[in-house]
Amino acid sequence: MTGTASPQFRPAGSLNVTTALSPYQGPWNARLAAHLLRRAGFGGSPDDVARTAGMPLDAAVDALIRYPKADNLPGAPALLDDHYVEERRMLAQAGSRNADDASVQQIKMQIGKDRQKTNVSMISWWMNRMINTPAPLQEKMTLFWHGLFTTSVFQKGITPKEAVDQNWIFRNNALGSAREIAHYVSRDPAMLKYLDNARSNRAHPNENYARELMELFTLGIGNYTEADVRESARAFTGYSVYGPLRGGGFYFNQRDHDDGVKTFLGRSGNFDGDDIVEVIYRQPAAPRWLATKLLNFFVYNEPEPQLVDALALVIAKNNYQMAPTMSMLLRSNVFYSDRAYRSLVKSPIEFVAGTYKLFGLTAVTPETLGALNRMGQVPFHPPSVKGWDGGATWLNSQTVLVRENFVNYLVTSQMMMQASTWLTMGPPPTAKDATDKLVGTILQGDASPASAGKLEAYLDGADTSALGQLSGENFEERMRGAAYLTMAMPAYQLN
């Protein structure tokens, strides 16, 4: 699938590639601690930032890499597959006994209702994991893999359980081997359905998965030929999925598999799909492709080819293991450089999860899920096999308004004031102190003097006759409004 290039922009300035991946030795403070928490997770509360800033940098990175188990969090959505699969079975049975149209329509309507309930349950489950996990880098890597090895629930018959099972592949292997993830995905029912491999057979090999595996997942255009696509498709014949009436799950159908000799990327043999994955990850383009994806996601967009090559060497040296690769990247000069700092636009998921964490909120609401949809990113629902374009595409006049409305919804909600004691705790400060607190806590000081001055004027009652200067009577209301104005500043849209 060939798409147009997404509008992403490399930050201004120059790269010293000889020192870019060397360990950062500069000052360590709350500003950089917050940067680390945003990039390697979804941000944090003021206490999270202070705690991280109080550690040495190496200890802070170690705590993210060597993450604890998250056994306290639900392992699956509250509503998953029971009703959905049962109703699909009922629909099949109704068709087999020639039920009247009204009965079939009623079953279809019930399937639609249950599907929507399950969908909300799935999205809420994962968003709440991102917000509450003691292992933020594990969830951030799960999101990274979800955007790389892309599928979308309900499309082409993908069941909610299959989508959640795939999600666990990414989570269980978050900092494991990228090559092993490709092996798992090649046998994953959601992926095999999504890219039409589940019915691929020796007589009619389907090329969709074989093509996207190379084009979008591992190598990139220009690093394979059409002949390689055809030969790879032959190798993946027989990689199939049981139907819902048989419980789903991967199975290898030997009768449908083409067991002849294939020639793929310069190698020949009686290859199956696993052999294809192994050959792919021996290609020089494979670590470069992964390095480009990691740098775009964690450092900055459009990374220089020299930086890509340098990180590719690290990936290859570590045999595609992500733990040592990410450990090095999260300690590197380039990660903490001025060019990387707030150079990425927050995705809607990052924006929402980070705002919840900032204010100590723990459970997303239906209103929040609606906002995510209007912002353009919903977990389990990437728009196509190439995932989300990201970058500057996240921001336009409509999505910025949705972000502002979402923030306004949160800051005016009772749940936020109950959770965010830091916002209104203590006696009312002066307008200047309140401004410093808000800009320091929410933006780590990243506001222009003019913006900070306008915020202080608002807190001090400028352009309003309501209760005048900041006082005990208007303190809570003004702090809510000022929090909203702070999060409407440009820096809050950036990671």
The model's pLDDT over 158-180, given as tens digits with 9 standing for 90+, comes to 989 999 999 999 999 999 999 99
- At residue 109, the pLDDT reads 79
Q: Could you read off the pLDDT of 390-414 as tens digits, one per residue? A: 999 999 999 999 999 999 999 998 8
- Rounded to 5°, the CA angle 287-291-292 comes to 120
Residues 79 and 416: their CA atoms lie apart, in Å, by 26
- At residue 84, the pLDDT reads 58
Instruction: Answer whether residue 389 shows pLDDT above 80.
Output: yes
Find the largest Cα–Cα distance for the chain: 83
Please list, in sequence order, all residues whose beta carbon lies within 8 angstroms of the beta carbon of residue 139, skipping any fewer than 6 positions away.
41, 42, 129, 130, 133, 171, 174
- DSSP one-letter string for 91-108: HHHHHHTT--HHHHHHHH
Residues 400 and 348: their CA atoms lie apart, in Å, by 10
Measured over the CA atoms of residue 35, residue 446, residue 369 and residue 144, the dihedral's sign is negative
**Residue 81 confidence class, pLDDT cut points 50, 70, 90:** low
Q: Could you read off the pLDDT of 25-54 as tens digits, one per residue? A: 999 999 999 999 999 999 999 999 999 999
Residue at token pair 């990327």 = 265
Residues 70 and 142: their CA atoms lie apart, in Å, by 14
* Pairing between β-strand 239-241 and β-strand 262-264 as defined by DSSP bridges: unpaired
Residues 434 and 65: their CA atoms lie apart, in Å, by 35
The pLDDT of 198-224, averaged and rounded, is: 97
Residue 103 tokens read as 């009965």
Residue ranges covered by each domain of the chain: 81-280, 348-493
Strand partners, 264: 267
The pLDDT of 271-298, averaged and rounded, is: 98
The DSSP output letter for 216 is: I
Mean pLDDT of the chain: 92
Q: Could you read off the pLDDT of 287-308 as tens digits, one per residue? A: 999 999 999 999 999 999 999 9
> Which H or E element spans position 79?
none
pTM, 2 dp: 0.93
Alpha helices by DSSP H, 236-343: 273-280, 285-298, 305-317, 322-329
Instruction: Answer whether residue 136 shows pLDDT above 90.
Output: yes
Amino acid at 152: S
Q: What are phi and psi of 93, to 5 degrees?
A: -65, -40
- At residue 291, the pLDDT reads 98
Q: What are phi and psi of 10, to 5 degrees?
A: -75, 135
Please list, in sequence order, all residues whose beta carbon lies within 8 angstroms of the beta carbon of residue 399, skipping any fewer than 6 positions away.
348, 374, 375, 376
Alpha helices by DSSP H, 260-304: 273-280, 285-298
Q: Are 322 and 473 in contact (CB under 8 A)?
A: no
- At residue 2, the pLDDT reads 45
Amino acid at 129: R
Residues 237 and 246: their CA atoms lie apart, in Å, by 20
Instruction: Answer whether residue 248 shows pLDDT above 90.
Output: no
Distances (CA, A) of 73 to 133, 135, 453: 7, 11, 42
Instruction: Answer whether residue 423 shows pLDDT above 60.
Output: yes
Reading phi first (left if > 0) and then psi (alpha if -120 to 50, else beta), residue 347 is in beta
- At residue 295, the pLDDT reads 98
Provide the 10 A C-beta neighbour count for residue 84.
21
The pLDDT of 450-470, averaged and rounded, is: 81
The pLDDT of 318-329, averaged and rounded, is: 98
**Residue 88 confidence class, pLDDT cut points 50, 70, 90:** low
The pLDDT of 452-475, averaged and rounded, is: 79
Residue from 478, 490, 390 nearest 450 by CA: 490
- At residue 3, the pLDDT reads 44
Residue 26 tokens read as 């500069």
Residue from 105, 104, 84, 106 nearest 96 by CA: 104
Catalogue the long-range contacts made by 194-200 (C-beta closer than 8 Å, 24 or more residues apart): 194/150, 194/151, 194/152, 194/155, 194/156, 194/158, 194/385, 195/385, 196/156, 197/236, 197/239, 197/240, 198/239, 198/240, 198/241, 199/240, 200/233, 200/236, 200/237, 200/238, 200/239, 200/240, 200/256
Query: Which of the residue ranges 80-89, 143-152, 271-280 would you say has the lowest mean pLDDT?
Result: 80-89
- At residue 471, the pLDDT reads 72
